[in-house]
């Protein structure tokens, strides 16, 4: 039987070997697996090692279950106790897992809400808007500002509707993400 403990930056691998009767083997399996369920997740690599350890314990468990009930012997056999998932220690594992299962749909709902609210989306530029660029021209980050403010760097002069249209000399091109249909380009003239 194997067990695992994650200790933040360290890990500890546990094992118990020997000749087990059915009751002693199941008791050992349940004890070591239950402890692994709540002690095994506390280091970065333990997230991978703990499930592998629990899966490795399934082989000995199936062999123990095939054995006959103990008879006689030198002393009393161990009491297997409650099944693995009915132990309070194992429930400590189920609570964080339930939170993870609930967190995933919650994050999707919050993501849809934030995206639907327009947060993180590029503003749509209209002719006459004034903007300032928080990035460089290869990675534009345009923000619409008041044309009378000192922050106004460029003014949208027109939109290019056909491929033959061109901006005037000295004007810059806004990225397609700032157009209403993501297909037309806006011309930006210096505001000062």
- Rounded to 5 degrees, what are φ and ψ at 125? -85, 140
Distance, CA of 186 to CA of 163 (rounded, Å): 13
The pLDDT, as a whole number, for residue 24 is: 92
The pLDDT, as a whole number, for residue 189 is 92
Who contacts 66 (Cβ-Cβ below 8 Å, separation ≥6)?
none
pLDDT of residue 118: 55
Query: So what's the pLDDT on residue 185?
Result: 86
Q: What is the DSSP string of 50-84?
A: HHHHHHHTHHHHHHHHHSPPP-S-SSPPPP--S-G
**What's the pLDDT at 96?**
67
Q: Among 42, 40, 58, 47, which Cα is nearest to 3's? A: 40
Percent over 70 (pLDDT), the chain: 96
| pLDDT attached to residue 116 | 55
Burial of residue 189 (number of CB atoms within 10 Å: 0-12, 13-18, 19+): middle
Q: How confident is the model at residue 115 (pLDDT cuts 50, 70, 90)?
A: low
Angle between helices 46-56 and 22-39 (to 10 degrees): 170
Handedness of CA 169, 175, 181, 183 (dihedral sign): positive
In angstroms, the CA 61 to CA 171 distance is 75
Per residue in 76-114, pLDDT tens? 888 888 888 888 887 777 776 777 788 888 888 887 777
pLDDT digit string (tens) for 9-64?
889 999 999 888 999 999 999 999 999 988 888 888 888 898 999 999 999 999 99
Total-model pTM = 0.51
pLDDT in tens, 127-183: 999 999 988 878 888 989 999 999 899 999 998 877 788 888 889 888 888 888 888
| DSSP class of 42 | S
The predicted pLDDT at position 117 comes to 53
Whole-number pLDDT of residue 85: 80
**What sign does the dihedral 179-181-182-186 (CA atoms) show?**
negative
At 119 the pLDDT is: 56
Q: Measured between alpha carbons, how far is 173 from 37 in angstroms, rounded to an integer?
A: 58
Q: How much of the chain is in helix, strand and coil states, percent to nearest 5?
A: 40, 20, 45
């Amino acid at each position: 039987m194997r067990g695992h403990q994650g200790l933040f930056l360290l890990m500890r691998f546990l094992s118990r070997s020997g000749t087990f009767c059915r009751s002693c083997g199941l008791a050992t399996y349940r004890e070591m697996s239950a402890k692994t369920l709540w002690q095994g997740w506390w280091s970065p690599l333990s997230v991978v090692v703990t499930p592998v350890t629990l899966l490795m314990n399934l082989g000995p468990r199936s062999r123990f279950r095939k054995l006959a009930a103990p008879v006689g012997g030198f002393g009393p056999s161990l009491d297997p106790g409650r099944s693995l998932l009915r132990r309070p220690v194992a429930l400590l594992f189920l609570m964080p897992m339930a939170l993870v299962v609930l967190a995933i749909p919650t994050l999707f709902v919050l993501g849809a809400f934030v995206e639907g609210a327009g947060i993180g989306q590029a503003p749509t530029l209209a002719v006459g808007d004034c903007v300032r660029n928080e990035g460089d021209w290869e990675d534009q980050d345009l923000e619409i500002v008041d044309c009378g403010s000192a922050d106004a760097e460029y003014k949208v002069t027109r939109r290019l509707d056909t491929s033959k249209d061109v901006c005037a000399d000295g004007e810059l091109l806004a990225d397609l993400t700032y157009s209403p249909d993501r297909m037309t380009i806006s011309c930006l003239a210096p505001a000062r």
